[in-house]
Structure 1
């Protein structure tokens, strides 16, 4: 074989091998995935001093979630999933009753929801069922500020952090102060004025717990010296005999 033909055949083989390697590499790249980055919250005037907390970072200033993180379907800890979770079951064929294992995932979407107290959008993962509930209650703030136990369970750790964040805004604080005034309660900072001199709320709670453990009687208030008590007579509102028919005619 002439050397020129052998050289041409070798070049053709190398070029075909290179094309095959590129094709295999491109085919592999179609199935590769990258780790999803946490969604970044939009910045606004209300979140410059106190930004929106992260779904996964540590925030020691935020009170702990009373129900703790969810042990199953852990991605719901970083979104508004409500009580939705992944479910497992079987597909059963009609003819031979063959069972095929399958799963049902909740319909989760990434949305930008508007917060009236913050005056800006909040980006979060949310299920369509929670979206429907938000529309029914009148907005994201009303959903996060719900007081029922089931609502607090549906919020999850991420919803609990959002709840704490909007409670720091002046608008929500003014709303809480207005509610306390309507209920006849003192302002938030004026509770210490009603405590006895030299006492704190913690010491009074400790004394109350000790009295409860000893089963002592509580004396609420001070008894006045001159107290006028009205004595009710024995025949007060006594039942009278029903008049007969003849007596009614005489009347």
Structure 2
């Protein structure tokens, strides 16, 4: 009876060259690996986005980087059918990574979301409608990532034109454009007709503050004179 060697023969221990390793890792392909799209909320400049009013989530922190709605990790017990033994377990939300088309951005939005949020987006008619929801419940569901995407969508010309139409339908004046207010909205027409400028009015207000003078709204002297004239007209002769 022959004893088998403890080690494999030398012909089975061939050294794999670096070129062979590259061929094995990229078999039947000469193209570079495809780069995946960066999550859209990471492309928003953080220094320009307003602070999220509800702050970051301290539990299940994955919600800070996706659209998770109200989903959280659930904890409970698995009870054996025969002996009724309990085993502690947990259930993660049904989350997926999706690329949804945004008409306002004219691009895809890639982010991680739960199945319930995806159903809500389908029911509303698109991710833009979901992100632009104005109720407090929707703002709480967005989280920091959804808040950044909401700000990014609101800066697009399509959404700005939509807001302008809604303000016009409600009878509201046009909103400021790039931080510059129209001259007729910034300065009263009555003062402008008298030849006054905003700088002159501000200087006069500062001078009144230094002299501790009172600000009188309206024309009390004219009201007193008109009241006196009415009393004189009503007084019997």
TM range (shorter): 0.5 to 0.7
**TM-fit CA distance, 1:221:** 7.5
CA distance in 2, matches of 1:39, 1:158: 19
Over the aligned positions, Cα root-mean-square deviation in angstroms equals 3.7
Q: 1:51-130, aligned counterparts within 5 Å?
A: 52-54=40-42, 59-130=46-117
Q: Return the TM-score normalized by structure 1.
A: 0.59
Q: State the match for 1:153 in structure 2.
A: 140
Q: 1:128 to 1:184 in 2, by over 3 A?
A: same
**Deviation string, structure 1 residues 147-201 (Cα, Å, up to 9, x no partner):** 000100100111001001011110001111111111222111247724564589x
Moved over 4 A (4+): 219-227
CA distance in 1, matches of 2:141, 2:116: 11
Q: 1:150-189, aligned counterparts within 5 Å?
A: 150-189=137-176
Q: State the match for 2:129 in structure 1.
A: 142
CA distance in 1, matches of 2:140, 2:47: 21
2:120 to 125, 130, 133: 133
CA distance in 2, matches of 1:73, 1:121: 26
Contact 1:39/1:123 (8 A) holds in 2: no
2:6 to 3, 13, 21: 13
Q: 1:13 to 1:100 in 2, by over 3 A?
A: same
**TM-fit CA distance, 1:15:** 2.1
Q: State the match for 1:213 in structure 2.
A: none
SS in 2 for 1:187: coil
Q: Return the TM-score normalized by structure 2.
A: 0.62
Q: 1:232-243, aligned counterparts within 5 Å?
A: none
**Deviation string, structure 1 residues 110-152 (Cα, Å, up to 9, x no partner):** 1111101011211111111001100111110000000000100
Q: 1:102 to 1:181 in 2, by over 3 A?
A: same
Q: 1:71 to 1:191 in 2, by over 3 A?
A: farther
Stretch deviating more after TM superposition (177-186 or 126-135): 177-186
Contact 1:89/1:101 (8 A) holds in 2: yes
CA distance in 2, matches of 1:157, 1:220: 45
Q: 1:103 to 1:135 in 2, by over 3 A?
A: same
CA distance in 1, matches of 2:134, 2:37: 28
CA distance in 2, matches of 1:222, 1:86: 66
Contact 1:80/1:155 (8 A) holds in 2: yes
Q: 1:221 to 1:179 in 2, by over 3 A?
A: farther
SS in 2 for 1:123: strand
